[in-house]
Structure 1
């Protein structure tokens, strides 16, 4: 495609229509007449070689092709707007960029509040959208511009993605404060004898690293409950004699908020933490700010 034939205004029109779900509301939003809006949308349909929107009783419904285009076009408009308004530097206090992130338990529970507090303190209008995306779908979602940044303990190898290790996290055990069998420490045998709340790690199959390590030592633990999110564990732990193993930064947070006891895991396991983002965003000043900020917060929380 010859980009010289694409009018930047057509991208603005498309973005307004898919955001508002109505040609009338989109026209009001960007200050165009409805006939001019319809003509511009028709031109963009020709360029995209797709109808883009279907009429329903509730407004316009985007086609699959429109949904594919939405995030990349939104990102492109954000970059152009920032460049024109603020030059080559990125000023988070003046920006109204939107970022879609998948941060895992550590990021959402511990890091996200700190990030939002920093934005609020500067009066920033930056919008952070958290998403849940399966590990196996991440490459596709980044390719279509639906995810700007991903944090996880499993890397992804792809020519389209940059993946870097930002640190490590160790594991701790969490139990209720007045647990009858757990004092200030746990031996491996005591750990294996307890009933466990386990976390199913998305994108993984077979026995967990903890179970494999116990088997290596000739031990086996009882899986009494499996959760898909660490959010589910603290309330169960506070009312039972069960134990849950989790990253130290999460354990510290839950121990403080829910009045639980945190002890060091006798297995002394440590896991890498990776940050991943689309290669196309590598030199984006706004994205660089996001990466640097989240890495700084992670290191502070892990200290």
Structure 2
């Protein structure tokens, strides 16, 4: 009799554990990349999709793209999905700046912070046939006439735009006169460069890696404090005499109005993903730094970063 009761108890405990695991594995997520396919946010969203499903953390993870206004159109849609505990949106440094530059009526303070995921150094590239050979060449051109140097990058007010302005400042040029052309996706910026329509392009190294290795693009410099492990031949700006460092971070937020249980489910999913071997392999392949911060710490970081980005944008003349 006692043996039977113990057996039933053990079975019940195992069943409950199984139900918990099964319930988590049934998680169905919608991940928004608020930009066109081919860019950094899109790459992050699809990498999340891959890791979450391969690691068994989510049953499904559907990626959608919503373009426009530095991601603020997608942000408005996310805020409109109040209470939806299955929705996530990729964002980052770029969106913080775009909100300020576009004087957006919606802001990240209206969302539910879930996690910071990655950090990535930016790279400046030119077509291989360009007369610009290194950072010193580009700095000399920018100092002489900033308006004649055209830059291709992501959304206005984002990390790419700020880097172009900071480069002009470090070169001794007028930061308010830079000629920056924003594109909604990395593919469009790449086409503009290869077509000779711009002087230089700015993005994360991973977005240009294929064209760099194919010999179609030349690296002018990277914005990290040290050379990248996956690009040891690419010089930093600092080692070329240009005093410039900048890291682009990416994160995920959820809609407003979530219950504590909904927030915990999403936060736990991101925590499991960030610690999974599948995500670690993706970080290595993409050349992204692991910059994981859980929900509470990310919320604190985001508040401080919004103040820091506003100061930088004012200093370089992007906003008043």
TM-score (norm 1): 0.53
Matched, 1:275 2:257: no
**Matched position secondary structure for 1:179:** coil
Shift of 1:120: 6.2
Residues of 1 paired with 2:129 and 2:44: CA distance?
Answer: 25
Partner of 1:233: 189
Choose from 198, 214, 218 the match for 2:173.
218
**Matched position secondary structure for 1:165:** strand
Given that 1:165 and 1:275 are in contact with CA atoms closer than 8 Å, whether structure 2 keeps it comes out as: yes
Given that 1:90 and 1:289 are in contact with CA atoms closer than 8 Å, whether structure 2 keeps it comes out as: no
Shift of 1:212: 4.4
Residues of 1 paired with 2:188 and 2:109: CA distance?
Answer: 31
**Matched position secondary structure for 2:190:** helix
Residues of 1 paired with 2:214 and 2:80: CA distance?
Answer: 34
Deviations 1:35-55 (CA, angstroms, capped at 9, x unpaired): xxxxxxxxxxxxxxxxxxxxx
Q: Describe the shift of the 1:236–1:264 C-alpha distance in structure 2 as closer, same or farther (beyond 3 A).
A: same
Given that 2:153 and 2:202 are in contact with CA atoms closer than 8 Å, whether structure 1 keeps it comes out as: yes
Shift of 1:87: 1.4
Choose from 120, 137, 146 the match for 2:76.
137
Shift of 1:230: 1.9
Higher relative contact order (CA 8 A, sep 6+): 2
Choose from 248, 257, 272 the match for 2:205.
248
Given that 1:251 and 1:262 are in contact with CA atoms closer than 8 Å, whether structure 2 keeps it comes out as: no
Aligned length: 214
Partner of 1:209: 162
Given that 2:42 and 2:65 are in contact with CA atoms closer than 8 Å, whether structure 1 keeps it comes out as: no
Shift of 1:172: 0.9
Residues of 1 paired with 2:23 and 2:216: CA distance?
Answer: 40
Partner of 2:91: 151
**Matched position secondary structure for 2:208:** helix
Shift of 1:198: 3.8
Q: Rg: which structure is higher?
A: 1
Stretch of structure 1 that moved more, 257-266 or 234-243: 257-266
Listed as ranges, the gaps of 5+ residues in structure 2 are 1-14, 97-107, 223-236, 238-243, 290-320
Residues of 1 paired with 2:89 and 2:22: CA distance?
Answer: 18
Residues of 1 paired with 2:81 and 2:263: CA distance?
Answer: 13
Shift of 1:150: 2.7
Deviations 1:137-190 (CA, angstroms, capped at 9, x unpaired): 1552341527324332246224x6125433432221122223232248755334
Shift of 1:252: 2.8
Residues of 2 paired with 1:128 and 1:290: CA distance?
Answer: 15
Listed as ranges, the gaps of 5+ residues in structure 1 are 1-82
TM-score (norm 2): 0.51
Matched, 1:289 2:269: yes
**Matched position secondary structure for 2:191:** helix
Residues of 2 paired with 1:291 and 1:149: CA distance?
Answer: 16
Matched, 1:263 2:217: no
Choose from 20, 24, 49 the match for 1:88.
20
